[in-house]
Amino acid sequence: MNIIDHLSVGVPAIEAATAFYAPVLSALGVQQLAATDAFAAYGRDAVQFLVMKPENGAASSSGNGTHICFAAETPGAVDRFHKAALENGGTCEGEPGPRPGYPKPDVYTTFVRDPFGNKLEAIHNGFAA
């Protein structure tokens, strides 16, 4: 069993968040599985990632040193994730490519920020592989 049930990031508006996340996560074979006015939930067979308005009504913010890493089945999926992120308002935080300094061999990854400042990674051959 996974030790994490789900992860979420705060966003100021669900509609704007789904405009970014739907194509970006689709590049990894992930679909939107549920949505309300307060959140949108994504996964393959079960919800594992959510974008949501902060429960306390305060402004959303990104965490310094925090990022969410999505598993990619192939290096090509990593490339498609990066491209979709940039095409939908994200910014590059690390071009797709191998990372020889990582603790596992043959890692291929990329980093982006969503339009709301949250740092995201897509990785092939990461810890979950």
Question: If pLDDT is split at 50, 70 and 90, which confidence band does 128 have?
Answer: confident
Q: Whole-number mean pLDDT of the chain?
A: 95
pLDDT of 54 higher than 70: yes
39: which 2 tokens?
Answer: 């959140």
Per-residue pLDDT at 4: 87
Note whether 8 and 51 are within 8 A (CB): yes
Cα 20 from Cα 76, distance rounded (Å): 19
Mean pLDDT, range 87-113, rounded to an integer:
95
Domains of the chain, earliest start first? 7-54+65-124 (3.10.180.10)
Residues in the chain, overall count:
129
